[in-house]
């Protein structure tokens, strides 16, 4: 009995040790990198590689940095961190080549323009293997993955294929983990080219031999094979997938069948997300990327894109802007898809599988060599309050494509939308091709080439009078209907989603206008625009709820102000150090963009520390510039303004209030101490019981 008693005493002590050890293991740590220090040097300066290795290992592997423990934050000061050592590019321990992360880590930069992680064109920049990783306020550039290996074996006298290896994926970032980007610029990255195919020597009638080069690597900016990828307030631009490798030489005789197949660029120039994974994009710009399928985005998982810009991307295959594929739900809202191009079909968007819902979106200026200049769909799709304009199918004029605006296989529901001013160079189907199901209150200018039975509120055969694609406020450009347009006030309030289901337009302005009035068709709800063309200096000019006072006009002769009636879409939560609580914003424009000097005065409702805030800000293109030169209990002013854009009032809430999209990665710590406590109590109680039993 004595030994049993001592055993349970030991069990109790072990439980408390588990409690203590668990508390220590899961305590979070912060590691601060010495500016511009990258290499493992043991020089007393905590380098970026040393900090990452310590965080991965939850240990002080390198004494230059503190030990990593729990969920680590690595502070990366302003500087350029160039990866020079590519001795072993495929190792996964961050010693050479890319930076490998395998734990719950936050990389915190000093600013997108000031903290730069540079791959030096020797390897990708970041490889995220496991964990929950958050990256804030950095630039990721000049990653370049290795090419695929050439096939040196070839194919001789047999049924065989001599194929080169594919280029490696993920030029900027390769992730198999849960990854969130906040205010990150991913630019000028490239994936490797495919390796060359092997040579063929086939000479028997029954032989079938094939040579092909490997494909270029996928996901030039980002390749995600992890559970989720979240991109917030970030820019993915100028990333390009590698080319396909060349086939081998062919020596075919004696009746053998030989093929020298082509290979292609990799898919997903900006980013690629694999099937079974989740992509969320908010307040971001995907631009000037290129790949085979999905020049900007190739999404095979569940995708949600909102308040973003997808522009000037290109695909050698399909989906110049976006390729949606595989069976999962896809949504896009409050976004512009503009000026993208595909050599194949779907210049703006190619929807190949899954279900797709598009709301408050402009699809404009896209082109395809084949069909669907703006939008190609072969999956169940609903377009609600969408404007499809100025797109071109059969852009190479060879007569092989239809549907300048929309090309449709399968089910396409059109609701409260505008399809107009599109081009099919062959003339067969300028605005649409296929059968389109009306869900009422649409405007299609030309139904030649498509089957469309008009329903309630539908209009066909007339010009909708759209304005040019322009900055009319919000995150991206829009086609604002002109005065007198038949699109205006054409959907009765509380009918067909007007004002009750769809309560804002693409820009974030309130639907309907006026309150409880009829809604406009398409992506834009036109609100009251007040224009003043009698400007003078040195006097207050009240205009649509705000006040302007010009110190100088330059060439400015007219100014217009549109009041939006809601929070700005980019002012959700806290942006930088400023909270946006005003419930309103204004878009100001003039006949010239700059060259004047004006004081802008905005109203507020008793904020403690009001600021005048402009969107987009000057720091790097997204976010806000907030300041003031005067304030009282109901107004706040900023002088020296020399350009117009979107304006709202912010409240200074302090630097600790920066809100990022970040998952909670600490539940295990709570569970660990609880288990230790329970084991300890059980052991102690059992020991007391046995002691008394003696």
Domain of residue 615 covers 529-657
Q: What length is written for the chain? A: 694
Cβ(672)–Cβ(144) under 8 Å?
no
| Mean pLDDT confidence for 357-378 | 98
Q: Residue 124 domain-assigned?
A: no
Cβ(328)–Cβ(302) under 8 Å?
yes
Q: Residue 403 domain-assigned?
A: yes
Give pLDDT tens digits for 637-681.
Answer: 999 999 999 999 987 643 322 233 333 333 333 333 333 433 344
> Rounded CA gap, 660 and 232, in Å?
8
- Of the residues 474, 494, 527, the one at which a domain ends: 527
Of 84-93, 231-240, 335-344, give the lowest mean pLDDT range.
Answer: 84-93
Q: Residue 314 domain-assigned?
A: no
Both 574 and 649 in one domain: the answer is yes
| Mean pLDDT confidence for 84-111 | 92
Both 598 and 558 in one domain: the answer is yes
Both 509 and 556 in one domain: the answer is no
Q: Look at residue 572 in the predicted model and tell me its pLDDT.
A: 60
Q: Residue 10 domain-assigned?
A: yes
The mean pLDDT of the chain is 89
Q: In the predicted model, is pLDDT for residue 217 greater than 90? A: yes
pTM, two decimals, is 0.89
Cβ(197)–Cβ(250) under 8 Å?
no
User: Regarding predicted confidence, which is higher, 624 or 82?
Assistant: 82
Give the number of other Cβ atoms within 10 Å of residue 158's Cβ. Answer: 11
| Mean pLDDT confidence for 46-64 | 98
Q: What is the DSSP string of 293-349?
A: S-SSEEE-SEEEEES-EEES-EESSS-SSEEE-SSSEEEEEEEEEES-EESSS-SSE
Give pLDDT tens digits for 283-331.
Answer: 999 999 999 999 999 999 999 999 999 999 999 999 999 999 998 999 9
**φ and ψ at residue 33, rounded to 5 degrees:** -80, 140
Strands 418-420 and 450-452, bridge-based pairing:
unpaired
Cβ(351)–Cβ(378) under 8 Å?
yes
Label residue 360 by pLDDT band (50, 70, 90).
very high
Q: Residue 128 domain-assigned?
A: no
Nearby residues of 253 by Cβ (< 8 Å), 6 or more positions away: 202, 203
Give pLDDT tens digits for 409-451.
Answer: 888 999 999 999 999 999 999 999 999 999 999 999 999 999 9
Of 30-39, 236-245, 396-405, give the lowest mean pLDDT range.
Answer: 396-405
Both 427 and 559 in one domain: the answer is no
Which residue shows structure tokens 């004002």?
499
Q: Look at residue 25 in the predicted model and tell me its pLDDT.
A: 42
Q: Look at residue 155 in the predicted model and tell me its pLDDT.
A: 84
Q: Look at residue 579 in the predicted model and tell me its pLDDT.
A: 53
On the 0-12 / 13-18 / 19+ scale of CB atoms within 10 A, 538 is exposed
Q: Look at residue 86 in the predicted model and tell me its pLDDT.
A: 80
Both 423 and 545 in one domain: the answer is no
- Of the residues 499, 527, 555, the one at which a domain ends: 527
Of 67-76, 84-93, 630-639, give the lowest mean pLDDT range.
Answer: 84-93
- Comparing CA positions, the residue from 293, 302, 249, 254 lying closest to residue 270 is 293
Both 555 and 517 in one domain: the answer is no
| Mean pLDDT confidence for 444-466 | 98
CA dihedral 620, 626, 627, 631 (to 10 degrees): 160
Helix (H, G, I), strand (E, B) or coil at 687: helix
**φ and ψ at residue 337, rounded to 5 degrees:** -120, 105
Both 376 and 507 in one domain: the answer is yes
Helix (H, G, I), strand (E, B) or coil at 433: strand
Of 122-136, 187-201, 390-404, give the lowest mean pLDDT range.
Answer: 390-404
Q: Look at residue 580 in the predicted model and tell me its pLDDT.
A: 55
What is the domain count for the chain?
3
Q: Residue 442 domain-assigned?
A: yes
User: Regarding predicted confidence, which is higher, 572 or 223?
Assistant: 223
| Mean pLDDT confidence for 248-274 | 93
- Comparing CA positions, the residue from 68, 120, 44 lying closest to residue 89 is 120
Buried b (16+ CB within 10 A) or exposed e, 111-150: ebebbbbbbeebbbbbbbbebbbbbbbbbbbbbbbbbbeb
Q: Residue 376 domain-assigned?
A: yes
Buried b (16+ CB within 10 A) or exposed e, 297-320: bbbbbbbbbbbbbbbbbbbbbbbb
Both 541 and 518 in one domain: the answer is no
Label residue 381 by pLDDT band (50, 70, 90).
very high
Q: Look at residue 500 in the predicted model and tell me its pLDDT.
A: 94
Beta strands in 428-573 (DSSP E): 432-438, 443-444, 450-452, 459-460, 466-470, 478-481, 529-532, 540-543, 546-552, 559-563
Q: Look at residue 418 in the predicted model and tell me its pLDDT.
A: 99
Give the number of other Cβ atoms within 10 Å of residue 10's Cβ. Answer: 12
Taking each helix axis as running N to C, give the angle between helix 2-25 and helix 667-693, from 0 to 180 degrees, rounded to the nearest 10: 160
The edge-to-edge listing of strands for the beta sheet with 200-202 is 155-156, 200-202, 250-252
Cβ(407)–Cβ(370) under 8 Å?
no
Q: In the predicted model, is pLDDT for residue 494 greater than 90? A: yes
Both 401 and 378 in one domain: the answer is yes
Both 484 and 551 in one domain: the answer is no
Vertex 22 angle, CA 18 and 24, to 5°: 125
User: Regarding predicted confidence, which is higher, 28 or 469?
Assistant: 469
Helix (H, G, I), strand (E, B) or coil at 357: strand
Label residue 517 by pLDDT band (50, 70, 90).
very high
The structure tokens listed for 198 are 């092997």
Beta strands in 227-308 (DSSP E): 228-232, 235-237, 250-252, 257-261, 271-273, 278-282, 285-287, 290-291, 297-299, 302-306
Q: Residue 499 domain-assigned?
A: yes
Of 239-253, 548-562, 621-635, give the lowest mean pLDDT range.
Answer: 621-635
Label residue 19 by pLDDT band (50, 70, 90).
very low
Give pLDDT tens digits for 577-596.
Answer: 445 556 799 999 999 989 99
Label residue 499 by pLDDT band (50, 70, 90).
very high
Both 378 and 471 in one domain: the answer is yes
Q: Look at residue 581 in the predicted model and tell me its pLDDT.
A: 52
Both 507 and 553 in one domain: the answer is no
Q: Look at residue 621 in the predicted model and tell me its pLDDT.
A: 54
Cβ(219)–Cβ(171) under 8 Å?
yes
Q: Look at residue 586 in the predicted model and tell me its pLDDT.
A: 96
Share of the chain above pLDDT 70, in %: 87
CA 249 and chain centroid, separation? 42
Give the number of other Cβ atoms within 10 Å of residue 62's Cβ. Answer: 20
- Comparing CA positions, the residue from 375, 392, 460, 451 lying closest to residue 426 is 392
Q: Look at residue 82 in the predicted model and tell me its pLDDT.
A: 98
- Comparing CA positions, the residue from 276, 264, 287, 387 lying closest to residue 325 is 276
Question: 404 to each of 401, 416, 432, 436, how far by Cα in Å?
Answer: 8, 19, 6, 14
- Of the residues 505, 527, 549, the one at which a domain ends: 527
On the 0-12 / 13-18 / 19+ scale of CB atoms within 10 A, 555 is exposed
CATH number at 564 reads: 2.60.220
User: Regarding predicted confidence, which is higher, 605 or 102?
Assistant: 102
| Mean pLDDT confidence for 537-548 | 97
């Amino acid at each position: 009995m004595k030994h049993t008693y001592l055993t349970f005493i030991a069990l109790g002590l072990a439980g408390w040790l588990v409690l203590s050890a668990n508390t220590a293991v899961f305590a979070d740590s912060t590691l601060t990198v010495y500016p511009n220090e990258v290499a493992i040097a043991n020089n007393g300066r905590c380098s970026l590689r040393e900090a990452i290795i310590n965080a991965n290992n939850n240990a002080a592997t390198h004494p230059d940095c503190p030990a990593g423990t729990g969920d680590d934050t690595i502070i990366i000061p302003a500087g350029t961190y160039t990866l020079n050592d590519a001795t072993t590019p495929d190792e996964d321990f961050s010693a050479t080549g890319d930076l490998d992360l395998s734990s719950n880590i936050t990389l915190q930069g000093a600013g997108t323009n000031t903290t730069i992680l540079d791959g030096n064109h020797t390897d990708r920049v970041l490889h995220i293997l496991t964990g929950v990783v958050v990256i804030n306020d950095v630039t990721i550039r000049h990653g370049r993955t290795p090419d695929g290996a050439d096939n040196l074996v070839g194919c001789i006298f047999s049924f065989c294929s001599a194929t080169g290896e594919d280029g490696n994926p993920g030029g900027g970032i390769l992730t198999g983990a849960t990854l969130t980007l906040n205010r990150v610029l991913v630019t000028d990255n490239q994936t490797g080219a495919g390796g060359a195919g092997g040579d063929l020597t086939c000479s028997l009638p029954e032989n079938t031999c094939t040579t092909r080069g490997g494909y270029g690597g996928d996901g030039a900016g980002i390749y995600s094979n992890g559970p989720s990828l979240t991109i917030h307030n970030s820019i993915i631009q100028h990333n390009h997938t590698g080319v396909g490798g060349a086939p081998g030489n062919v020596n075919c005789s004696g009746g053998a069948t030989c093929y020298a197949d082509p290979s292609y660029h990799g898919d997903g120039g900006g980013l690629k997300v694999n099937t079974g994974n989740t992509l969320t994009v908010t307040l971001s710009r995907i631009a000037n990327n290129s790949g085979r399928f999905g020049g900007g985005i190739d999404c095979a998982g569940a995708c949600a894109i909102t308040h973003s810009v997808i522009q000037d991307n290109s695909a050698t295959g399909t989906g110049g802007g976006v390729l949606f594929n595989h069976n999962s739900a896809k949504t896009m809202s409050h976004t512009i898809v503009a000026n993208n191009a595909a050599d194949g079909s779907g210049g703006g968007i190619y929807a190949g599988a899954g279900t797709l819902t598009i709301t408050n979106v402009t699809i404009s200026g896209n082109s395809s060599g084949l069909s669907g200049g703006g939008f190609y769909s072969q999956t169940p799709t609903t377009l609600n309050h969408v404007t499809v304009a100025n797109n071109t199918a059969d852009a190479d004029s060879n007569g092989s494509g239809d549907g300048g605006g929309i090309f449709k296989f399968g089910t396409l529901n059109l609701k409260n939308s505008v399809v107009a001013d599109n081009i099919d160079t062959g003339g067969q189907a300028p605005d649409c091709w296929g059968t389109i199901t009306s869900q009422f209150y649409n405007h299609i200018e030309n139904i030649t080439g498509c089957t469309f039975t008009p329903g309630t509120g539908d209009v066909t055969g007339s010009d909708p009078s759209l304005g040019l694609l322009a900055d009319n406020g919000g995150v991206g450009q829009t086609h604002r209907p002109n005065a007198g347009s038949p699109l205006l006030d054409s959907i009765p309030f509380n009918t067909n989603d007007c004002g009750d289901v769809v309560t804002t337009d693409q820009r974030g302005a309130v639907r309907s206008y006026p309150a409880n009035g009829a809604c406009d068709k398409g992506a834009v709800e036109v609100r009251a625009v007040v224009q003043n063309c009698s400007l003078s200096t040195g006097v207050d000019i009240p205009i649509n709820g705000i006040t302007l006072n010009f110190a100088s006009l330059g060439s400015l002769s007219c100014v217009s102000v549109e009041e939006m009636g809601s929070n700005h879409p980019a002012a959700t939560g806290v942006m930088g150090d400023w909270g946006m609580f005003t419930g309103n914003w204004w878009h100001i424009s003039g006949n010239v963009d700059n060259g004047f000097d004006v004081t802008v005065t905005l109203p507020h409702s008793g904020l403690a520390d009001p600021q005048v805030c402009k969107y987009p800000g000057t720091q790097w293109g997204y976010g806000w510039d907030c300041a003031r030169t005067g304030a009282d209990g109901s107004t706040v002013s900023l002088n020296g303004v020399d350009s117009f854009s979107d304006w709202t009032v912010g409240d200074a809430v302090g630097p600790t209030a920066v809100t990022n999209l970040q998952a909670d990665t600490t539940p295990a710590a709570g569970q660990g101490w609880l288990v230790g406590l329970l084991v300890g109590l059980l052991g102690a109680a059992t020991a007391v019981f046995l002691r008394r039993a003696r």
